[in-house]
């Protein structure tokens, strides 16, 4: 029976589903999952470091393919035959209360267990005879093997305090004895670059002196996200297996919404294929399904997205997020470190010099999490219901909405902004929360934010209506004119003629009372009609 006929029978009966699928849990393997080659663009450089007997570090955010890369690299090395390679994870030793002895036992047991996935019995290390240090265990294994060893250590930044120091010191002490008495090359793999290991080993630790264990690596690799070509290649594997097509527009939209983040890319595709279409490969994948899939992922708040929300409580993350939401220029002495940290977590990216959230899904999750503090005050009353702002023909009366928001802001802002963790960006967040509650009744909001651009841009969509909104903090007398020019450019880009410029006064009500700060002015600016709201 030909493959085409088999596929048609499958599409009709659905009795024998295709084996491969879009993976959103654990590492990928090509027999079960659609996957992009994890070694693309990096294999030659990794091999060069192994040949030079170097230690190196690979880091990237969670669920971006680190473990998949390690498994692929170990299998590739073993197939070529010059070295023997194994992956080990030290995650089980990442318990803050562990002693060095307990950690050594956990690490050596983990290596012995996991090595069976990659090596023959003759190539594997012997079962560890406890007590034994990781250093001595690796030395024994290396002396027993005729080939040099390449060791790939996953979750290397999961260790704490003295255990972290001991772990890195053992690797450093073995460095001079490689490859006869220690692995020829060692890769440390985790979420963060080596500078972050210091924080988990305590900055005040006296063992972090001139003989620092943090000088073991020769190079750090930060794994890139998927390019549009990568996403295309991934999705076309499904088409090759099933005949179900992803149009170019759908592929581009999936890449746009995911920002190339591997888990999000797979999650969007899986949401469409398995959850929305029920693995019915005869159905057409429509462009609007990508928007629906995005909203479903945000609403579901799976573990990956919840872990992102947890990071917002950290001070270094708060500083960067606050600057992005408010559009204000950063004023922090440790800004560069905070940026690196947020980039390593995958929260932000830097495109054409603009610091922004890494993708639209993260942007929406972060904004909604920050806005959740305001939800308690937006219940019950008529002004918080979508129906209150609808005209007889079903269109949305945005002027009415903004006039009600000015009343709401006067009544609630001082009380809520002082209680809010992100109070420096609270003006914008409060308006976004109010808008979100109303527009959720049948529309959507798209946000544009970047640190240092001096504004926050919103586009609210309701049926065939488009409302373009710009928010700015009123720093001085030039803020209004700057805002009009910025909003004009935003309107021009969206091909709209009317917009709203919202200016938030930063001076307190003793300096400028509410009677003077609440204003509404309709102006014409370079051919565009703009409502200027001050509050």
pLDDT for 421? 64
Question: How are strands ordered across the β-sheet holding 498-505?
Answer: 443-449, 456-462, 465-474, 498-505, 528-534, 519-525
- Of the pLDDT bands very low, low, confident and very high (cuts 50, 70, 90), residue 509 is confident
Task: Let me know whether 410 and 439 are in one domain.
Answer: yes
Task: Let me know whether 178 and 58 are in one domain.
Answer: yes
Q: What is the extent of the structural domain holding 245?
A: 19-26+226-300
Task: Let me know whether 376 and 463 are in one domain.
Answer: yes
Q: 125-139, 158-172, 364-378: lowest mean pLDDT where? A: 364-378
Q: Check if the beta carbon of residue 456 is closer than 8 Å to that of residue 471.
A: yes
Task: Let me know whether 94 and 236 are in one domain.
Answer: no
Task: Please give the mean pLDDT across all residues of the chain.
Answer: 88
- Of the pLDDT bands very low, low, confident and very high (cuts 50, 70, 90), residue 382 is confident
pLDDT for 209? 44
Task: Let me know whether 89 and 169 are in one domain.
Answer: yes
Query: Hunting for tokens 């002082």 — which residue is that?
Result: 418
Q: Is the pLDDT of residue 340 over 90?
A: no
Q: What is the mean pLDDT of residues 294-299?
A: 90
Task: Let me know whether 67 and 113 are in one domain.
Answer: yes
pLDDT for 337? 81
Task: Let me know whether 76 and 191 are in one domain.
Answer: yes
Q: Is the pLDDT of residue 3 over 80?
A: no
Residue 345 in any domain: the answer is: no
Task: Let me know whether 215 and 232 are in one domain.
Answer: no
CA distances from 109 to 102, 131, 196, 310, 447 (A): 11, 11, 26, 32, 49
Q: For the purposes of burial, counting CB atoms within 10 Å of the CB of 222, is it exposed (0-12), middle (13-18) or buried (19 or more)?
A: middle
Task: Let me know whether 198 and 104 are in one domain.
Answer: yes
pLDDT for 5? 36
Q: Is the pLDDT of residue 207 over 80?
A: no
Q: Check if the beta carbon of residue 461 is closer than 8 Å to that of residue 492.
A: no
- Nearest-Å Rg of the Cα atoms of the chain is 28
Residue 88 in any domain: the answer is: yes
Instruction: Decide which of 165, 190, 222 is a domain's last residue.
Output: 222
The domain tally of the chain equals: 3
Of 321 and 420, which is predicted with more confidence?
321
Q: In terms of DSSP H, where are the helices of 126-217?
A: 134-144, 161-175, 195-200
Task: Let me know whether 274 and 212 are in one domain.
Answer: no
- Of the pLDDT bands very low, low, confident and very high (cuts 50, 70, 90), residue 154 is very high
pLDDT for 129? 95
Task: Let me know whether 247 and 185 are in one domain.
Answer: no
pLDDT for 212? 47
Q: What is the mean pLDDT of residues 149-172?
A: 93
Instruction: Decide which of 222, 247, 282 is a domain's last residue.
Output: 222
Give the predicted TM-score (pTM) of the model: 0.85
pLDDT for 215? 63
Q: What is the mean pLDDT of residues 12-39?
A: 81
Instruction: Decide which of 263, 282, 300 is a domain's last residue.
Output: 300
Task: Let me know whether 285 and 136 are in one domain.
Answer: no
Q: What is the mean pLDDT of residues 249-265?
A: 97
Using DSSP, state whether 439 is helix, strand or coil.
helix
Q: Is the pLDDT of residue 308 over 70?
A: yes
pLDDT for 62? 83
Q: Is the pLDDT of residue 17 over 70?
A: no
pLDDT for 374? 74
Q: Check if the beta carbon of residue 473 is closer than 8 Å to that of residue 376.
A: no
């Amino acid at each position: 029976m030909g493959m085409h006929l088999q596929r048609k029978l499958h599409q009709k009966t659905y009795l024998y589903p295709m084996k491969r699928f879009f993976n959103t849990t654990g590492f990928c393997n090509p027999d079960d999952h659609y996957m992009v080659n994890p070694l693309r663009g990096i294999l030659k450089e990794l091999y060069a470091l192994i040949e030079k007997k170097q230690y190196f570090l690979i880091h990237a955010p969670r669920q971006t393919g680190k473990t998949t890369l390690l498994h692929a690299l170990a299998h590739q090395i073993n197939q070529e035959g010059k070295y023997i390679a194994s992956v080990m994870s030290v995650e089980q030793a990442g318990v803050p209360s562990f002693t060095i002895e307990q950690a050594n036992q956990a690490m050596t047991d983990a290596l012995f267990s996991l090595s069976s996935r990659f090596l023959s019995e003759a190539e594997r290390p012997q079962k560890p005879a406890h007590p034994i240090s990781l250093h001595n265990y690796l030395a024994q294994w290396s002396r027993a093997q005729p080939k040099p060893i390449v060791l790939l250590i996953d979750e290397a930044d999961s260790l704490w305090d003295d255990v972290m120091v001991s772990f890195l010191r053992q690797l450093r002490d073995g460095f001079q004895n490689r490859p006869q008495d220690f692995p020829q090359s060692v890769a440390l793999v985790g979420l963060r670059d080596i500078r972050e290991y210091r924080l988990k080993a305590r900055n005040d630790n006296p063992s972090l002196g001139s003989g620092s264990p943090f000088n073991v690596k020769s190079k750090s690799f930060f794994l890139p996200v998927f390019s549009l070509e990568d996403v295309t290649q991934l999705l076309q594997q499904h088409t090759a297996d099933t005949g179900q097509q992803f149009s170019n527009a759908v592929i581009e939209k999936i890449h746009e919404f995911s920002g190339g983040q591997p888990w999000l890319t797979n999650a969007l595709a899986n949401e469409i294929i398995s959850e929305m279409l029920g693995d019915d490969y005869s159905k057409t994948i429509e462009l609007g399904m990508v928007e629906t899939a995005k909203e479903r992922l945000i609403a579901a708040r799976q573990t990956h997205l919840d872990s992102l929300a947890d990071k917002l409580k950290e001070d270094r993350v708060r500083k960067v997020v606050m600057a992005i939401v408010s559009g204000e220029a950063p004023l922090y002495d440790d800004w560069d470190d905070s940026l690196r940290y947020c980039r390593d977590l995958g929260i932000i990216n830097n495109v054409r010099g603009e610091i922004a959230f890494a993708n639209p899904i993260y942007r929406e999750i972060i904004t909604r999490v920050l806005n959740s503090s305001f939800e308690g005050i937006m219940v019950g009353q008529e002004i918080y219901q979508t129906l209150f702002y609808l005209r007889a023909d079903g269109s949305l009366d945005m002027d009415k909405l903004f006039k009600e928001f000015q009343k709401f802001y006067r009544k609630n802002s001082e009380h809520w902004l002082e209680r809010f963790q992100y109070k420096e960006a609270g003006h914008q967040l409060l308006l976004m929360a109010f808008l979100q509650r109303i527009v959720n009744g049948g529309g959507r909001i798209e946000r544009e934010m970047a640190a240092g651009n001096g504004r926050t841009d919103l586009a609210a969509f309701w049926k065939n209506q488009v409302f373009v909104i710009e928010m700015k903090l009123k720093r001085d007398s030039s803020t209004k004119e700057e805002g009009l020019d910025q909003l004009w450019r935003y309107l021009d880009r969206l091909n709209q003629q009317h917009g709203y410029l919202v200016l938030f006064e930063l001076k307190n009500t003793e300096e400028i009372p509410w009677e003077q700060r609440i204003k509404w002015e309709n102006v014409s600016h370079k051919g565009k009609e703009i409502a200027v709201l001050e509050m």
